Structure 1
Amino acid sequence: MTAVVTLASAARLDHVRRQQARLAGADVERVVVWLDAEEPPALDGAIVLHVPPGAHGMRLAAGRNLGVAEATARGHGLLVLLDADCVPGPNLLAAYAAAAASHQDGLLCGAVTYLAQGVTVEADTDLAALTAPHPARPAPAVGDLVEAAPEEYPLFWSLSFATTPAGWARIGGFDEAYEGYGGEDTDLAFRARDAGAPLVWVGGADAYHQHHPTSSPPWQHLDDILRNGALFHGRWGTWPMTGWLEAFEAAGAVVREGDGTGWRRA
């Protein structure tokens, strides 16, 4: 049996409803974790859990952990995690299930297509015709599985991935010390690498990211990125999200620490 775990908030509620509509006809149990302080709305057919924000913002790591714990307690053997703004492609569930059969303890990742502004996903939208995987990560052909090299683990994105309860237990789940935006997904990938769990690029497990306004670098998350980046550096000896940090630095918003190993607000 398969469970699909999704994080949700009021800001992404329309996206979540479209995602849930795409999943409604599938043989899965849907677990939605609401991250806002307010009580969650009902979502037809889904189990809705609530993880209010912490001192530093939304608790994405804690939310995913709670959703997986609920799905595992209900006896599901395949755990698929999709971000609120992602909808599954027509073969995503089957591709992840096939990959899990041969990689029981793996961290399984499908390609992600970022949909253009103005593309609204309805229940009958032909997603396959829109497929254009983001070029930053491998996108194997349908049916192919490619194990990542050790240096590819930082390319793990938590917006679409799958594993089994055995794989989740081996990795240990997300570190709930991360609050607010950024860092928790790369931390999970590094924990998987340390545990010897393979990161597997799964051909055909396509997800589609629904458009919403963003900024690059994400100025609204500057303090989160500095705080979570420092936490990550303390554990792994390197910083995540360096592209954004360098962009903040170029804009004069942050400066490097005296020893050059980190950043702080200017």
Structure 2
Amino acid sequence: MKFRPCIDLHDGVVKQIVGSTLCDTNPQAVQTNFVAEKSPSWFAELYRSDNLTGGHIIKLGPGNDAAAEEALGAWPGGMQLGGGITADNAGTWLDKGASHVIVTSYVFRDGMIDIDRMNKLVKAVGRNRLVLDLSCRKRDGLYYIVTDRWQKFTSVAISPEVLTDLAGYCDEFLIHAADVEGKCSGIEVPLVEKLAQWTPIATTYAGGIRDRADLQLIDEAGSGRLDFTVGSALDIFGGKTLTYRDTVDFRRSAEEEKHV
């Protein structure tokens, strides 16, 4: 169980937002929890100092390329990059220092997985440099993958078969529980349990984490198989219930217990 840190970029600035409030047709509707005064590179350098590999930089909409390049430049090869990735630009972002590219919307068309685009991506960058973002929202008791900054439901629900099939195209999964993302209201326990049972590859869970007890719950409900990302609750993002240092220490203690 590893701590995978994040740098979420919105309008060129590091922010923490409530994911379910993103709306392309009404940009003013977005609920912002935190706007950083520090630069993207400051956060990347912090994560580098603690050797927190495998974290992600997410571009939430346009106007974030320069900020993303700054963060990648502070730790070449240390973080993954997502947001607007296609087969045509994926290689460019790897060249700019991303360890992996993270993709969702590009590999879905009309609510279904587009295998041709998936194969094109794998051919462009290789399976071992690709992370599939299967962030989801709950509807009718199932967790459906959502695209376009979590605004559009696909017709594909998280299941053992879907995870097994998609694992053949990528190195890892990144899965935000979009209904609770940014709310610091507690994790989506049923999703954590399902992912731990079903995923055949490295998987990072994000969404709703509020304190150290939630980290312990992910470890227990996820049988130690899932990594985690936490944003708005952290003190470095203005949070009041969880310090960055405690989170790093929790990750290290979990790793030590795993090897005892």
Q: How does the TM-score come out when normalised to structure 2?
A: 0.25
Higher relative contact order (CA 8 A, sep 6+): 1
